[in-house]
Every structure is written in C-alpha cells, then in structure tokens.
Amino acid sequence: MVKYNKYSRKIKQKKYITSSKVERKFANVLTKFNIKYKKQYELNGKYYDYYLPEYHLLIEIDGNYWHGNTNYYPILNRIQRNQKIKDKEKNVIAKVFGYDLLRLWEHETKNENKCIKKINEYKKVN
C-alpha cells in the first residue's frame, strides 16, 4: 500500500517541484556572486532549474547518472535514453521561445569559478 503525505497531491499536480542537492549548492554560488535568478522557471509546461533575467539565460544542471553523461556511463539504460529525449525537447522549447540555454553537468558545478566564468562568457557573447 502506498502512503501519501501532505505534499503528494501537489507533486501529482506538478505544483511542487523540488531541487536536488547539486541545484541547491549551485543556487548558493549564484547568490555568492550576486547573480539574480529564479529557480524552477516554467516555460511552456517544462521546468528549468534556473532563469537568469539579466542574462535572459536558462540553466539546467544535469546529473551525470540521470541525464546519461557518456563519459561516466558509456552504455545508457532506458531511463537515461528517455531523459536525453526530454532534454532535447526542452532545448527546442527554449530556442523557440527565444531563450538561451546553458547546460552544466553535475561534476562541472563542483568548480564554482568555472561555472561563473561560463555564465559571464555567455553574457559577453549574447
């Protein structure tokens, strides 16, 4: 028998989106460098980890396992292959709606200076 808590209904309705540990650490980095952001930004029914309004930039933090980083997992399972399809859909939606999208692998977020450098380089290009 499945037990439900007070958040189950909201989770089913997709109104309650949680952040992973990596995403929470990344939010601390953005705050530390005074970068304004919105978390779990909704666009056309899809949620993106972060939106940086000053950069007009969406950011996705992709877990090495769940998003199938082939440097770590050369043979992808069904879940990883399906997630890659969903990631491509989100890429297209962002582009169609005129947003730029930066994807960072989980392991890349461990070096906060590199993350900020990528974001700042992105701002200079756009």
Domain ranges of the chain: 23-125
Lowest mean pLDDT of 6-15, 29-38, 53-62, 89-98, name the range.
6-15
CATH topology of domain 23-125: Endonuclease; Chain A (3.40.960)
Q: Which comes out higher in pLDDT, residue 76 or 17?
A: 76
State the Cα–Cα distance between residues 51 and 37, nearest whole angstrom: 5
Supply the pLDDT for residue 77.
96
